[in-house]
Amino acid sequence: MKINGKNYRTVWMEGTIIKTIEQNQLPEIFKIVDIIGDGAVISAIQTMVVRGAPAIGAMGAYGLAQAIQNLHQPTKKHIQHLRDKIILARPTAYDLEHGLNSVVVMALTGQTEDEIKKMALVAAQEYADRSAEACRLIGEYGNALIKNGDRILTHCNAGALATVDFGTALSPIRAAHRYEKSIFVYVDETRPRLQGAKLTAFELYQEGIDHAVIVDNAAGYFMARSEVDMVITGTDRVAANGDVANKIGTYEKAVVAHENNIPVYIAAPLSTIDFSCPNGDTIPIEERDPDEVLSINGRRVASDGSPALNPAFDVTPAKYITGIITEKGIYKPGELHLLKKQ
């Protein structure tokens, strides 16, 4: 992605130091921070210094590889313990488990301590590179759905900042812009943490893509006026039947889009599809701090004494989804079984 005219990845590794863009400070401050130690990795994921399913997966992979470097005589038991510790950081995003498992499998092919440590680093880098390439291909396949003049609504941030690079939902939009299609993007603000207003709008502005931020409640207004041609979002986990968990509010957008005959596409790499999860009812939904709802930028906006509920995600049933854009092509929710062995 381009920031101030320079290309960046969201998360990467230099030697054994993890580098990531501090997303809590965007768009006001662009800052790269060092992440050292499994405790710092877990904190970065939990506090959303790094967020978005593929980016979390890469951070987990890098974090496990980094932690393995500090083990004396690493064993399968030690490595599995680290993996199990990091995976608890955020329960909904399946990419975290996928990234950690990739490192565990390759690291344990090593026969000596040095080989195990080397293979862990190799595995993490290969995982991040595969993830970035998957998102690039999502853009190429998704671009075929976008016509010149299309108006696209997206929810939360599923751009490069939510991945290693390119993005999921924003990757087709980036590709369409690169192919000089005239497009416009409605950016849901995405309460309570405003990832749309703060991050998606920031990315689109940096790339010069025409867009406008709208309040979450305005999406139906523009759909009813026939001013939205398609909805594209990312997802944190796709169940085997095609149900998807994504940022809270996605379900509402899909239902309203369905009522207005607007197609809804979900952009997701294969690493986000959990074939062990039969349907959306079995996806764990993270509950976050109520203060995220009760306050904005540290200032309380609700009456003193009022409580809040803060589910971070909701589940959109497969029946509301037109297609899922993957690095292998575009599939209907009922066709995901064709990807199981890929």
Q: Measure the CA–CA gap between 200 and 83, rounded to whole angstroms.
A: 31
**Positions of E strands within 269-341:** 273-274, 295-296, 299-300, 313-316, 323-326, 329-331
For helices 113-143 and 170-178, angle between their N-to-C axes, nearest 10 degrees: 60
Residues 227-250 as b or e (16 or more Cβ within 10 Å = b): ebbbbbbbbbbbbbbbbbbbbbbb
265 Cβ neighbours under 8 A, 6+ residues apart: 142, 145, 230, 231, 232, 233, 321, 322, 323, 324, 325, 330
236 assigned to active site: yes
Q: Measure the CA–CA gap between 85 and 46, rounded to whole angstroms.
A: 13
Q: Measure the CA–CA gap between 21 and 229, rounded to whole angstroms.
A: 32
119 Cβ neighbours under 8 A, 6+ residues apart: 106, 107, 109, 110
Q: Indicate the DSSP class of residue 17.
A: E
Q: Cβ–Cβ contacts within 10 Å for residue 69, how many?
A: 14
31 Cβ neighbours under 8 A, 6+ residues apart: 21, 22, 25
Q: Give me the catalytic one of 188, 236, 243, 274.
A: 236
- Using an 8 Å Cβ cutoff, are 179 and 144 in contact? no
Q: Hey, which residues are catalytic here?
A: 236
